[in-house]
Chains A and B, each alone.
Chain A
Amino acid sequence: MVSLHNRKFISADSDKCVGCQVCEYACSFTHDKVFNAVKSRIRVVRSNQSMKSIALTCRKCQEPACVAACPRDALSQSLETGTIIIDQDQCNGCGWCIEACNYGAMMMHPESKTVYVCDLCQYRPDGPQCVKWCPEEALTVVTSDVLAQKARLNAIKKLFQEHEELEK
């Protein structure tokens, strides 16, 4: 089982995300060869107050609530990558996993009527296509450790900038 420290997921930087939804197109095109945001595994949300946007998708949780919630054992977590594996024959579209997920990452497919979720484009040698396509470089594949490192780097950048401004 891959340790939590090494588990990779897709993170969006809300300072960089402009809400263009290119990731949604990239996702539906990669998986279904069509353009349809409703079939995308990553979805963009914009706040009408601040006009800030962010893209959300599966965070490959430790002890994922979606897996625990499934009454038919249709969901399991990959030991290798932490992605959620869906047994299409077992899933009956009851939606308990959708209810259980705090990030809105589990979604009902409009045609198969079973759930689907980010698989990190596991069959693509160049990795997740949303990350590749994001015009603002707002999406990255990270581990929680890298996220913490980035946050620390940003914090000191801010600190030093403020410091420099005071010195001016």
Chain B
Amino acid sequence: MFGYAGRVLYVDLTTGKTRTEKLPQETAKSVIGGIGLGMHFWLTNSKAKVDPLSPENPLVLAIGPLSGTMFPTGGNGHAFISKSPLTGGVAEAVSHGTFGTELKRAGYDAVIITGKSKKPVYLWIDDDNIALKDAAHLWGVSPAEVETTLKDEIGDYYIRVAAIGLAGEKQSRIANIINDQTRAAGRTGLGAVMGSKNLKAIAVRGTHDVAVAKPDLFVEMVQDFHERMKGPAAQKHRTLGTVQNLTINNTLTCLPTNNFNNSYFLDAGKINADVLNEGYVTRIIACNSCAMRCEHEAAIKEGTFKGTMARMEYDNLWAFGPNCGVANMNYIIKAAERCNYYGMDATSVGSTIAFLMDCHEKGLLSHEDLEGVDPHFGNEKAIYTLTDKIGKREGIGEKLADGVKVAAEKIGKNSAELAMQIKGLELSGYDLRCLKTTALAAAVSFRGADHNRSGIYAVDIRGTVDRLKAEKGSGKIVKDHEDIYNIIDSLIVCKNAKGTFDEEFADMAKLYAAATGFEVTPQELRQAGERIQALAKLINKREGLSRKDDTLPPKIMNQPVADDGAAKGAVVTKDELDMMLDDYYEVRGYSKDGVPTDAKLKELGLEKYAKEN
């Protein structure tokens, strides 16, 4: 096969046995790769209503047909897929770096990990030689240190590592899987799944060739995209970075502040992209194969935290900054760095701390609960202390380490009203009350509240639609964006590079054919995007999720935007949500309950998945 490695690796941690199987061509064509392939393998290797933290829940690592090739941003991606301990539905998170490149060269499109090891182990994939190695000495060690240690131990400084930290070992439901020191498969608690299997790390060395079907055409496309990435489409990422969203969102009064009590942050100027880039960013580095390099490494140059370094993006900066009312960049960077150290999703950690602050200010917590921490909005010391406690599951950290939904259950007293989550996943930094098309996308997102299942906030923010209006037609817009994102995450190309595709499906179909030799039309690729969406919905349906879970947090529906400006007073009412859901399900060919109809499943060739489950 071209593009694809053509092999799938099965690892049973209970028995220690491993085997490889051929990747069926039909499967590859049907679900492309990445999250599509991962969901296919998860669904066909698991039983309904599996406990996400049990040995019976498979953890799937999948890459795409472009991984290991020269296509800029495409050469480096990988995805983890499982059942989420945070949402109870499908878990998926994509990461970049160089880990995916190496896995392709080792010769695997996917790794399906089942069972549970008796002792802590790491999986060592050395081309065709697979071994489970003792990881007792790595237990409790940070992902970055695991990588350094394994390079020394194996004696190869070019091996690539994805690892969990202490949070994953302790099965924190907001734990992530970190690769290449600074990159993360962040959301939906995949680190906890890995931890529940006593699997500390996956180390890979690959030396095989990666060949594409039409090398000359493929390289011509690479050259074309190199040029596009020097142009305006990548400008934002090449210069100030995603943190620019902070100022844009604040200007539109849709910057969630103090756990969504406000939508405007007075002190945004103290932590904006200019402050970050001028005072902190020391290097902008690239993932493998990328021609637009966007990874902003921020270092603290003086004071108590001197020498601390973390990759800063809009989401981790927002979660610890405006959402906790904090305008001290040193503490924000320190908290982000601690998340990498413990291996936790910074968006979820910051949001959980913001939730605690809200509970505290509303008098829902007792003095004993707080153990000397004073979690009021704006207390920078609290974000640092609490991140540490969450990482260690220590004291009050035990209450918070499983995200806001579980924290609200533990705290009780109507605190669920303050929990900013959908399906259990914490919201990211976009105020859904005044970005109503985004609100629909967040409600229906199969992995829970997230902007990264559609990237739809762009149409609200750019004014392509009236962001304050819930309108019929939003269903179609959300569907189109989701389908593109499903292909982005399955081919695996970087979402930051989306703007460099002139016509997404046309460009991507040409690219897919050049890499794999499988000719597809743009329409067929769009349909594959639709198929992957339906597959995720089938997983969620099997695991018990339905229309009732496609909803919005109470604050988004009941607490109007308080700040002056065009958005003042905005909420998404139940009626508005219902109208948009109906519109969306209809366009998708789903039932009123949000499930793909039999006719739709047949159209997408998914009947067998529905029958099996």
Contacts and interface: CB of A to CB of B under 8 A. Distances in A.
Contacts of A3: none
A29 B215 contact: yes
B211 interface: yes
A19 B210 contact: no
Given A18-B293, A20-B291, A25-B70, A34 B285 contact: no
Given A48-B144, A51-B297, A25 B289 contact: yes
A110 B208 CA distance: 9
Interface in A14-70: 18-22, 25-26, 29, 32-39, 46, 48, 50-53
B226 interface: yes
B106 to A, nearest CB: 11
B335 interface: no
Contacts of B148: 48
A71 interface: no
Contact of B69 (A35, A51, A133, A135): A35
Given A35-B68, A36-B210, A135-B226, A22 B284 contact: no
Contact of A22 (B101, B212, B230, B291): B291
A18 B70 contact: no
Interface string B17-40: 000000000000000000000000
Contacts of B309: 51
Contact of A20 (B207, B282, B290): B290
A50 B219 CA distance: 32
A36 B288 contact: no
Contact of A35 (B211, B284, B286): B211
Contact of A38 (B207, B285, B289): B207
Given A20-B288, A22-B291, A26-B70, A51 B283 contact: yes
Contact of B70 (A32, A35, A136): A35
Contacts of B291: 20, 22, 135
A20 B70 contact: no
B283 A50 contact: yes
Given A25-B70, A29-B70, A48-B148, A18 B219 contact: no
Interface in A55-103: none
B162 to A, nearest CB: 15
Nearest to A28: B209
Nearest to A49: B309
A35 B210 contact: yes
Contact of A18 (B181, B182, B208, B284): B284
A22 B70 contact: yes
Interface in B271-292: 282-292
A168 to B, nearest CB: 16
B308 to A, nearest CB: 13
The residue in A26, A38, A110 that gathers the most chain B C-beta atoms within 10 A of its C-beta is A38
B215 A33 contact: yes
A34 B210 contact: yes
A31 to B, nearest CB: 12
Interface string A95-138: 00000000000000010000000000000000000000101100
Main secondary structure of the interface of B (DSSP, over half): loop
Contacts of B98: 21
Interface string B199-230: 00000001111111001000100000010011
B607 to A, nearest CB: 37
A28 B332 CA distance: 42
B115 interface: no
Nearest to A20: B286
A150 to B, nearest CB: 21
A110 B286 contact: no
Contact of B283 (A20, A52, A110): A52
Contacts of A38: 105, 206-207
A20 B289 contact: yes
A38 B291 CA distance: 20
The residue in A34, A50, A53, A136 that gathers the most chain B C-beta atoms within 10 A of its C-beta is A34
A22 B289 contact: yes
A25 B71 CA distance: 10
B207 A18 contact: no
Given A25-B70, A35-B69, A35-B210, A20 B181 contact: no
Interface string B67-104: 01110100100000000000000000000001001000
Contacts of B207: 36, 38, 110
Contacts of A33: 211, 215
B229 A135 contact: yes
Given A21-B289, A36-B209, A110-B207, A29 B297 contact: no
A51 B289 contact: no
A51 B101 CA distance: 19
Contacts of A51: 182, 282-283, 285, 297, 309
A136 B234 CA distance: 14
A18 to B, nearest CB: 4
A133 B72 CA distance: 12
A4 B105 CA distance: 39
Contact of A21 (B208, B211, B212, B288): B288
A17 to B, nearest CB: 9
B306 to A, nearest CB: 14
A136 B293 contact: yes
A40 B228 CA distance: 26
A98 to B, nearest CB: 15
Interface in B103-117: 105
Interface string B214-254: 01000100000010011000000000000000000000000
B366 to A, nearest CB: 44
Nearest to A45: B157
A56 B210 CA distance: 23
A82 to B, nearest CB: 28
Contacts of A37: 101, 105, 158
A25 B209 contact: no
A52 B309 CA distance: 13
24 contacts: A18-B284, A18-B293, A20-B286, A20-B287, A20-B290, A22-B72, A22-B289, A25-B69, A32-B209, A33-B211, A34-B209, A35-B68, A35-B69, A36-B105, A38-B206, A46-B285, A48-B147, A50-B283, A51-B282, A51-B283, A51-B285, A51-B297, A51-B309, A135-B293
Given A35-B210, A38-B207, A50-B283, 19 more contacts: A18-B286, A20-B286, A20-B291, A21-B288, A22-B291, A25-B69, A25-B289, A26-B70, A29-B215, A33-B211, A35-B68, A35-B75, A35-B212, A38-B206, A39-B209, A46-B285, A51-B309, A110-B207, A133-B226
Interface of A: 18-22, 25-26, 29, 32-39, 46, 48, 50-53, 110, 133, 135-136
What 9 A-B pairs are tightest by C-beta distance, nearest first? A20-B286, A34-B209, A25-B70, A135-B291, A18-B286, A35-B210, A18-B293, A38-B207, A36-B209
